[in-house]
Homo-oligomer: A and B are copies of this chain.
Amino acid sequence: MKTFIREKRNEKNMTQEELSKVLKVSRQTIISLEKGKYKPSLILAHKLAQLFDCSIEDLFIFEGDENLE
């Protein structure tokens, strides 16, 4: 799965820390998501998409047949 979190964040000129505060998650969570260390929960994915004014499917690119976890 690919994500455009970093690109969208940069477009908004936000730091990881600012983003984490808006979303009410830890800065570690943002770092890990941007680096692809794990996948966001559905709720967090939704909040990110809302903030970046796009759909979840626009923010995350799902590549065929991924495992659930």
Chain B residue at smallest Cβ distance from A56: B56
- Distance (whole angstroms) from the CB of A67 to the closest CB of chain B: 8
By secondary structure, the A interface counts as loop
Chain B residue at smallest Cβ distance from A44: B68
Give the contact-size bracket for chain A.
Answer: 20 to 34
B residues within 8 A CB of A43?
1, 39, 62, 66-69
Per the 8 Å Cβ criterion, residues 32-69 of A in contact with B are: 39-46, 55-57, 60, 62, 66-69
> In the bound complex, how far is the Cα of B41 from the Cα of A40, in angstroms?
8
- The 9 A-B pairs at the shortest CB distance, nearest first, are namely A56-B56, A42-B45, A46-B62, A42-B42, A39-B42, A43-B66, A43-B68, A44-B68, A41-B68
